[in-house]
A and B are shown apart, each in its own frame.
Chain A
Amino acid sequence: MLFPPPKSPASPPRVVITGAGIVTALGLGWHANADGFRQGRTAFRPVTLFDVSRQRVKLAAEADLPAELPRTRLSAKQQRRLDRATKLLLLAAREAWDQSSWAPSGDLPLVLGTTSGGMSLGEDYFRQAVRQPFRRRQQPTRALHYQAQTQARFVAEAFGFQGPITIISNACASGANAIGHAWELLRRGRSGRVLAGGYDALSLLTFAGFDSLQALSPTACRPFDAQRDGLALGEGAAVVALETLEGAQRRGASILGEIPGYGATVDRHHLTQPHPAGDAALETMTAACAAAGVTAEAVDYVNAHGTGTVLNDSAEALAINRWAGARAATLPVSSTKASVGHLLGAAGAVEAVVCLMAVREQWLPPQTTLRAVDPICRFAMVRQPANAPVRLALSNSFGFGGANATLLVRRWA
Chain B
Amino acid sequence: MGLNGIFVTGLGAVSPAGWGVPALRSALERGEPLPRKPVARPGWDRPLLIREVPPASPVPAFFGHPRLRRVSPITHHVIASALEAMESAGAGGARQPEKLGLVMCLLSGCVQYTHRFFDETLRHPATASPVLFPETVFNAPASHLAALLGSAPVTYTLLGDPATFLQGVAWAADWLLEERVDGCLVVGAEETNWLLADVLWQFDHRAVLGGGAGALYLSRRPEGSPGVELSLITDAAVYSVRQNRTQAAQAMRRLLPAGQADELLCDSRQNRPRVDAAETAAWRDWPGQRLSPRSVLGEGLMAASAWQCVAACEALARDAFPAAQVSVVGPNQQAVGARFVRRGA
Q: Is the CB of B159 within 8 A of A3?
A: no
Residues of chain A within 8 A (CB-CB) of B43 are 130, 133-134
Q: Which of these binds chain B: A80-88, A236-244, A394-402?
A: A394-402
Report whether B160 and A148 are in contact in the complex, using a CB–CB cutoff of 8 Å: yes
Q: In the complex, are the beta carbons of B139 and A171 less than 8 A apart?
A: yes
Tell me whether A401 and B239 are in contact in the complex, defined as CB-CB below 8 angstroms, given that A148-B159, A264-B154 are known contacts.
no
Contact with A along B1-25 (1 / 0, CB 8 A): 0001010000000000000000000
Of the stretches A36-44, A64-72, A150-158, A246-254, the one at the interface is A150-158
State in angstroms the CA–CA spacing of A148 and B119 once bound together. Answer: 22
Chain A residues near B124: list those with CB within 8 A.
Answer: 54
Flag the segment in B54-62, B173-181, B314-322 that touches A. B173-181
B189 at interface by CB-CB < 8 Å: no
How many residues of chain B are within 8 Å of chain A by beta carbon? 78
Please report which residues of chain A, range 84-127, place their CB below 8 angstroms from some CB of chain B when the two chains form the complex.
114-115, 117, 122-123, 125-127
B236 touches A271 (CB 8 A): no
Tell me how far the C-beta of B172 lies from the nearest C-beta in chain A, rounded to whole angstroms: 9
Among candidates B67, B122, B198, B236, residue contacting A129 with C-beta atoms closer than 8 Å: B198
- Residues B153 and A156 in contact, CB atoms below 8 Å apart: no
Minimum CB–CB distance from B195 to chain A (whole Å) comes to 6
**Contacts of A271 on B, CB cut-off 8 Å?**
67, 134-135, 140, 143-144, 147
Contacts A2-B166, A143-B202, A265-B153 given: A165-B160 contact, CB under 8 Å?
yes
Judging by beta carbons under 8 Å apart, are A55 and B125 in contact? Answer: yes
Q: How far is the CA of A386 from the CA of B238 in the complex (A)?
A: 46
Within the complex, the shortest CB–CB distance from B294 to chain A, in Å, comes to 19
Cα distance, A108 to B136, chains bound together (Å): 32
A interface, by DSSP: helix, strand, loop or mixed? mixed
Residue numbers in B under 8 Å from A163 (CB-CB): 238
The answer to whether A162 and B238 touch (CB under 8 A), given A1-B232, A2-B170, A5-B177, is: yes
B9 CB to closest chain A CB (Å) equals: 16
Query: Which stretch in B76-84, B262-270, B283-291, B331-339 binds the other chain?
Result: B331-339
Please name all residues of chain A whose beta carbon is closer than 8 Å to the beta carbon of B333 when the two chains form the complex: 149-150, 153, 165
B26 within 8 A of A: no
Shortest beta-carbon distance from B308 to chain A in Å: 16
With a cutoff of 8 Å between Cβ atoms, the chain B residues found around residue A210 in the complex are: 133
* CB-CB under 8 A for A126 and B195, given A212-B129, A271-B140: yes
B328 sits at the interface (CB 8 A): no
Residues of the A chain whose Cβ atoms lie less than 8 Å from the Cβ of B129: 212
**Chain B residues in 8 Å Cβ range of A143:** 199, 202-203
Q: A402, B167: Cβ atoms under 8 Å?
A: no
Picked from A54, A115, A149, A264, the residue with its CB within 8 Å of the CB of B332 is: A149
Measured in the bound complex, the distance between the Cα atoms of B334 and A171 in whole Å is 24
- The answer to the question of A272 belonging to the interface, with a C-beta cut-off of 8 Å to chain B, is yes
The interface residues of chain A lying within 8 Å CB-to-CB of B118 are: 123, 126, 204-205, 208
Partner of B170, one of A3, A153, A204, A272: A3
Q: Which of A2-43 contact B (CB under 8 A)?
A: 2-5, 8
| Nearest CB of B to A250, in Å | 24
Does A402 contact B143, Cβ atoms closer than 8 Å? yes
Categorize the interface residue count of chain A.
35 or more
Q: Given A129-B42, A205-B117, A212-B125, answer yes or no on A2-B236 (Cβ-Cβ < 8 Å).
A: yes
Q: How far is the CA of A210 from the CA of B134 in the complex (A)?
A: 9
**At the interface, yes or no: B275 with Cβ under 8 Å from chain A?**
no
Determine if A162 and B240 form an interchain contact, defined as CB atoms under 8 angstroms apart.
yes
Q: Residue A168 at the B interface, CB < 8 A?
A: yes
- Please tell me which one of the listed residues A147, A181, A403 contacts residue B143 in the complex, with CB atoms under 8 A apart: A403
Shortest Cβ distance from B180 into A: residue:
A184
Q: Is the CB of B159 within 8 A of A2?
A: no
Residues of B within 8 A of A169 (CB): 106, 138-139, 157-159
Q: B121's contact among A4, A115, A205, by CB below 8 Å, is which? A: A205
- Report whether B44 and A2 are in contact in the complex, using a CB–CB cutoff of 8 Å: no
Residues of B contacting A126 in the complex (Cβ-Cβ under 8 angstroms): 115, 118-119, 195
State whether the Cβ of B107 lies closer than 8 Å to any Cβ in chain A. yes
Q: Which of A3, A134, A171, A214 has the most CB of B within 10 A?
A: A3
Distance of A346 from chain B, by nearest CB (Å) = 15
Which chain A residues border B336 with CB–CB below 8 Å?
A: 2
Provide the residues of chain B in CB contact with A54, threshold 8 Å. 124-126
Q: Indicate which residue in A3, A188, A211 contacts B233 across the interface (CB closer than 8 Å).
A: A3
B residues in contact with A4, CB < 8 Å: 4, 173, 177, 232
Q: Are B238 and A266 in contact (CB under 8 A)?
A: no
Instruction: List the 4 shortest-distance A-B pairs measured between CB atoms, nearest first.
Output: A133-B43, A401-B143, A2-B170, A209-B133
**Which B residues have a C-beta under 8 Å from some C-beta of A?**
4, 6, 41-44, 67, 106-107, 114-115, 117-119, 121-122, 124-126, 128-130, 133-140, 142-144, 146-147, 150, 152-161, 164, 166-167, 169-170, 173-174, 177-178, 195, 198-199, 202-203, 230, 232-236, 238-243, 255, 332-334, 336, 338
Known: A3-B230, A264-B154, A403-B155. 15 other contacts (CB 8 A): A122-B114, A126-B119, A134-B44, A140-B202, A143-B199, A143-B202, A147-B107, A149-B161, A156-B238, A166-B158, A166-B167, A169-B159, A170-B155, A209-B128, A403-B143
Show 15 residue pairs from A and B whose CB-CB distance is below 8 angstroms, ordered by the A residue.
A3-B233, A54-B125, A126-B119, A129-B42, A130-B42, A133-B43, A140-B202, A143-B202, A150-B333, A153-B240, A162-B238, A171-B137, A209-B117, A271-B134, A403-B139
